[in-house]
Amino acid sequence: MVKRKQIEELYYIRAIAALGILIIHGTGVFAVNSTFNSKAMYLGIFFNQFFRFGSPVFMMISGLVLFYNYRSREEFNVKKFYTKKVLYILIPYIIWSSIYFLYRCYISGISFSINQIPILFKEIIFGTAFPHLYFIVLIFQFYIILPLLIRYLTKPMQENPIKLFFITFILQAMILIYGRYFKNYNTAGIVGYFNLYYWKSIFGWFFYFIAGGILGLNYEKIENYIERNIKLLFIVYIGVMCVYVGQVYYNIFLNGGRDYYDNFGSIRPETMIYTLATMPILMWVTKRMVGKFNIIKTFGTYSLGIYFAHPIVLEEIKYKIFSKFPAALGYSRLSSLLILVFLGIIFTFLLVLLIATLKNRWLLLGRIPKFNIKLRRNTTLVNIND
């Protein structure tokens, strides 16, 4: 594989995306369970919706990195690629799935037994050991079909990127509009399975992956376009963001409640437009962060570990702190929202950095450099584009 120049701003984009996902999971309970019309509800909904670009941006970066590096079948070493993915993503995923399975047993007061191993195995296969783990199974679906994508899409991505972009955008929009407005959960057969699981399969995310691939193969051209048109792009972003978040507030007040708030997750057609408006802004902003804000770069370096670890940290904060001080901490308090999010970020980051000091850190965090406080500048030597 040809060694290409690192895209340094990807560290920072990954950090912001990982931070956004953590904030989504930290604020969701406030958006849904706080007293209606409370400040905690308003702020919880805002942050929960504002950072909805997190998972789509992660998917775009995955496509970007892979197509940035593997531009032809000759550059794609099948054995080396899948060996690395199994060692540094699949094995950590299996371990974290087991940890979350045992954690669920612990908080439910259930003793683990050998009879539960088939259940654990099924949950590992389908990414259901904890809600966020489906995304790793989703990423692996793209890894599996990557050789085909490289063979048949690399040339169109380079020669007709706009045409391919709009084709995939329209196809993805059709699927997401169907899934949001027309699907029937009671349908049987193949369509029934599609209705239930499309959102955690390549059918619900292929646009972001392909769009990321187009970005990776045409990065310099797109980057130059963003630099020339940043004022217009920023105005578009502000407008799209206001409509995207405002839509949720409008529907909640129109219906007088939040009973259907789950409908406003990341896998909806509006998120496609919101992500497309957000990505250029992230690229422009993070390019100016390169060489600065080392703590953010470190956060991005260990973003996979942060993704794996943050739910268990948030749950422990809720169980060990919030439940012990119900009079002072509750889901209708603005201060409680800020405390949960702040402690979640700090404790997750510290936990991951602690694991990153270990010799066998790859088992939990993947292929990342060892964290050493005295050698903090050397924590980003691993090629993030690999």
In tens, the pLDDT along 157-183 reads: 999 999 999 999 999 999 999 998 888
**Cα separation, 222 vs 243, whole angstroms:** 25
**324 versus 116: which is more confidently predicted?**
116
Predicted pLDDT of residue 386: 53
pLDDT digits (tens, 9 = 90+) for 121-158: 999 999 999 999 999 999 999 999 999 999 999 999 99
DSSP line for 198-233: GGGSGGGTHHHHHHHHHHHHTHHHHHHHHHHTHHHH
Tell me which DSSP letter residue 330 carries: -
Predicted pLDDT of residue 209: 98
Query: Among residues 140, 163, 283, which one has the least CA distance to residue 220?
Result: 283
**69 versus 327: which is more confidently predicted?**
69
Predicted pLDDT of residue 374: 63
pLDDT digits (tens, 9 = 90+) for 5-56: 889 999 999 999 999 999 999 999 999 989 888 999 999 999 999 999 999 9
Q: How far is CA 221 from CA 72, 227, 290, in A?
A: 20, 10, 19
Task: Indicate if the pLDDT at residue 380 is higher than 70.
Answer: no
* First-residue to last-residue Cα distance in the chain: 10
- Contact between 297 and 12 under an 8 Å Cβ cutoff? The reply is yes
Predicted pLDDT of residue 383: 47
Residue indicated by tokens 């996902």: 21
**242 versus 184: which is more confidently predicted?**
242
Hey, what's the torsion of the CAs at 88, 89, 95, 97, to 10 degrees? Answer: 170
Predicted pLDDT of residue 127: 95
Task: Indicate if the pLDDT at residue 71 is higher than 90.
Answer: no
Tell me which DSSP letter residue 109 carries: T
Predicted pLDDT of residue 382: 45
Crossing angle of helices 54-69 and 206-217, in 10° steps, is 50
- What is the pTM assigned to this prediction? 0.92
**97 versus 382: which is more confidently predicted?**
97
Domain boundaries, the chain: 8-365
pLDDT digits (tens, 9 = 90+) for 240-271: 999 999 999 998 888 877 877 888 989 999 99
- Contact between 25 and 314 under an 8 Å Cβ cutoff? The reply is yes
- Contact between 196 and 185 under an 8 Å Cβ cutoff? The reply is yes
Confidence of residue 384 (pLDDT cuts 50, 70, 90): very low
Mean pLDDT across 54-76: 93
Q: Is 185 exposed, middle or buried (0-12, 13-18, 19+ CB in 10 A)?
A: exposed
**Cα separation, 59 vs 272, whole angstroms:** 12
Predicted pLDDT of residue 331: 86
Crossing angle of helices 161-181 and 269-287, in 10° steps, is 130
